[in-house]
């Protein structure tokens, strides 16, 4: 018997259970399936247009900037415009997300790089899994499609979110995750991002970009 098996055997003896305890497993499954729903504020609820308006208002309140694109094909031009008007380098990195790859980046003058960041990228773009109207928050999933390094290392983070993916609250994000991935197959990390990185640890002075991007520009696709 390995050390690991000995430890688990000791735990089972102390709990007076066997290695296969169907009733306990069934009890856990039933509790998870019928977990009570907590109180959810109504602020983010409403029709799609109302949810989107709340999301935009909350995101701007925490120093994110917002732009709208009628279609996914308009996203590269919007990001190029933002970089140009803010006197930023015409470079951009993104992962393997097919929604981003299908956009007409060649129609811009942007220099495109692919894959995770090594820390030397100034600009990156990610595609959000969902957005939370209640708090102006973006939900991004880890993985090769949208590497987590792109969320934290570049100075300027662009996030594309489709209007249909703007939900009322965080609880709705997890419901979508369960529906999309099923039990036991969730992504390793879900990053919730609300505005650019900030800290007021030193003398209570707010500093943007303390632990991540100093700018967060959100492009909402299909808002019309």
Q: Position of tokens 């990610």?
A: 126
pLDDT digits (tens, 9 = 90+) for 46-78: 899 999 999 999 999 999 999 999 999 999 999
**184 to 32, 177, 178, 179, 180: CA distances (angstroms):** 13, 11, 9, 12, 12
CA distance 111 to 89: 9
Please report the pLDDT score of residue 121 as a whole number. 95
pLDDT digits (tens, 9 = 90+) for 120-169: 999 999 999 999 999 999 999 999 999 999 999 999 999 999 999 999 99
Please tell me the pTM assigned to this model.
Answer: 0.84
pLDDT digits (tens, 9 = 90+) for 185-219: 889 999 999 998 766 566 666 555 566 689 999 99
Over residues 11-37, the mean pLDDT reads 82
Q: Which domains does the chain have, with CATH numbers?
A: 3-33 (no CATH), 48-221 (3.40.50.10420)
CA distance 132 to 122: 26
């Amino acid at each position: 018997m390995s050390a690991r098996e000995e430890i688990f055997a000791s735990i089972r003896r102390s709990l007076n259970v066997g290695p296969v305890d169907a009733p306990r497993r069934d009890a856990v499954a039933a509790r998870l399936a019928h977990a009570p729903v907590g109180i959810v504020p109504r602020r983010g609820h409403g029709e799609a247009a109302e949810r989107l308006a709340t999301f935009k208002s909350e995101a701007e309140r925490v120093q994110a900037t917002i732009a709208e694109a009628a279609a996914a094909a308009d996203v590269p031009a919007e990001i190029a415009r933002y970089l140009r008007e803010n006197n930023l380098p015409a470079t951009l990195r993104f992962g393997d997300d097919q929604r981003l790859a299908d956009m007409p980046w060649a129609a811009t003058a942007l220099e495109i790089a692919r894959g995770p960041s090594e820390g030397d990228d100034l600009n990156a773009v990610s595609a959000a899994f969902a957005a939370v109207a209640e708090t102006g928050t973006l939900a991004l999933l880890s993985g090769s499609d949208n590497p987590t390094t792109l969320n934290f290392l570049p100075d300027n983070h662009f996030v594309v979110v489709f209007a249909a993916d703007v939900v009322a609250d965080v609880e709705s994000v997890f419901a979508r995750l369960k529906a999309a991935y099923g039990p036991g197959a969730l992504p390793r990390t879900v990053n919730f991002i609300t505005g650019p990185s900030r800290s007021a640890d030193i003398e209570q002075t707010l500093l943007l970009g303390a632990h991540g991007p100093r700018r967060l520009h959100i492009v909402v696709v299909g808002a019309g």
